[in-house]
Amino acid sequence: MGELVNLRRVKKERARAEQAREAEANRAKFGRTKAEKTAQESEQRRVVTQLDQAKIEREE
């Protein structure tokens, strides 16, 4: 005979595993500190400014 399985417990374990996977994805997506966000924004602004300064505009 096979092992007895409590279906309710298995269902709850599956749900917890799914929630853990979803939480991991959200941590990767949204889990940045405020300092990291501001650093990335300032770096992005610096790159855009640098590109704009190096841009060659031609009048035709």
Q: Is 29 exposed, middle or buried (0-12, 13-18, 19+ CB in 10 A)?
A: exposed
Q: What pLDDT is attached to residue 58?
A: 81
What tens digit of pLDDT does each residue of 14-59 get?
A: 999 999 999 999 988 888 888 988 999 999 999 999 998 888 888 8
pLDDT value at 60 more than 80: no
Q: What pLDDT is attached to residue 53?
A: 86
- CA-based end-to-end distance of the chain: 86
Task: Quote the pTM value.
Answer: 0.47
Q: What pLDDT is attached to residue 10?
A: 94
Kindly give the residue spans of alpha helices, DSSP state H, lying in 1-60.
7-30, 34-54
